[in-house]
Structure 1
Amino acid sequence: MKVSRRAALSEDERLDALGRLLTDTEIPTRLRVAGVIVLLYAQPVSRIVPLTVDDVIRDSGAVLLRLGEPASPVPAPVAVLLLEHIAETVRRRRSLMVTSWLGSTRNRRQLKTSPPRSDSKLIRR
């Protein structure tokens, strides 16, 4: 199999792509988040896919992303996008859980008492 390598983006191309990912709401949020992490932190997709919500740390108003140790600071515009994506994911999961648990009183009790899952993937395939 022949692998074609494209030249690395110039700094202007990278900044243009980053600006588009931060502002273009036509692009799905999960793809915007993944793209921003690739462009800003030079992380391959194979390092982004395993990230979970636990890898996003809120500390005294700052947002950090655990890509290694120590966690990396997240610039404000990226933090807004990242936290928006997490909120969307949580809302979507809750609506799916409520829908699937409505038929059983036992499951409704679980909905009230179950702790949140910390293994929730940050980026879904």
Structure 2
Amino acid sequence: MDVGRRAKQFAPFAALRGLDETIRQQEIIYEPKRDLSEEKKNELDMKLRILAYGMKIQATYFQKSWKNPLIGQYHTLSGTVEFFDPSVHLRIDDTEIQIQDICDLTGDVFETIEISC
């Protein structure tokens, strides 16, 4: 048997399509959305008032699970503010974040705002 035919018999075979993806999704650890303290809400509100197009910031936000909106994951994203509407959402580079899902904003522009948590 030539080497090419012999190698084919050892090629990977997926008997159950989508099983790998389902297993990977089960490995993701989800958590419920945490409530912010009043101090943290006030600090975030002040930071949102300063926010403007073109600023370089880092945002921590909650991304809901597509299966269950009561649970999700927290992500941190760094980039440039491309769009900001305080009643709708914030767009950093190509990622849109709903205002109610933001839990923290950091960056050089916010250094003057310091409220202890």
Shared fold (TM-score, shorter chain, > 0.5): no
Higher strand share: 2
Structure having the larger proportion of residues in helix: 1
Q: Give TM-score scaled by structure 2 length.
A: 0.31
